[in-house]
Amino acid sequence: KERTETQFTRLIGATPLQVDLTLVRVTEHQSKNTSEDYLKAFYSTWAEVRERKFDGFVITGAPIANIPFEEVRYWKEMVEIMEWTQTNVHRTMFICWGAQAALHHFHKARRYRMEKKAFGVFRHHGVNPRSVWLRGFSDSPMIPVSRYNDIARDSLGSDLEILIDNAEIGVCMLDDPKHRAVHMLNHLEYDNRSLADEYERDQKAGLGTALPLNVYPDNDPTKEPENPWRSHGSLLFQNW
């Protein structure tokens, strides 16, 4: 969580607005990787903020991609939070598993497991360059991806607009005007070492994960990764 906080606050803090940031966690979930003392010091539970209203709310991912949504321990609260955004939040950004969950809840979109993990930095296609969310974007941004699942295109209704796409690994970003939301399935918030560190963790764990595509210069894992998506991450949050 601490690294994720840094990634998001760096992007949000770079916008022209002065932002009062509130860190929120699911009320009934015990974190495995972050100490309770840290969470109590810096986080509010959703139960503590549910009476408040927010200009923007970011709902991030969770490493539970293979668990059916309804079997996630805190799914009931997650549904309450998603419904709460419709009355207490002006704009919501759902990211990674958060986007998959929101598409499932609001649109009954169908998630499926891909034949192999999409892992690396992939060139995408901006479908609607006139969208306010893509103001300043190039036509073919490079975007970090790390996921096993995709959303079936034929389950996406006409009330959703695909903003960024990739024919090989699936939809990247959708606009959801009915719910005042943007769904980002990938990770423009990542820093240059995010995918490399994930790869190195998998290697140490003996998982045999393939080298992430387009991360290391010359595909040499001894070289420091570069960051060709940094400007697009800043633009996305500035536009949002």
172 catalytically annotated: no
Decide: 114 and 80 in contact? Cβ < 8 Å. Answer: no
- Of the candidates 77, 107, 189, 232, the residue annotated as catalytic is 189
Q: What is the DSSP letter of 179?
A: G
Q: Which one-letter amino acid corresponds to residue 174?
A: L
Q: Which of 96, 107, 172, 183 is catalytic?
A: 96
| Annotation says 51 is catalytic | no
Q: How do strand 44-45 and strand 24-25 relate by DSSP bridges?
A: parallel
Helices within 43-95 (DSSP H only): 46-49, 75-88
> Rounded to whole angstroms, how far apart are CA atoms 203 and 9?
29
Q: Cα(109)–Cα(155) distance, rounded to whole angstroms?
A: 5
Which of 107, 179, 187, 232 is the catalytic position?
Answer: 187
- Let me know if 71 is a catalytic residue: no
Residues belonging to the active site: 96, 187, 189
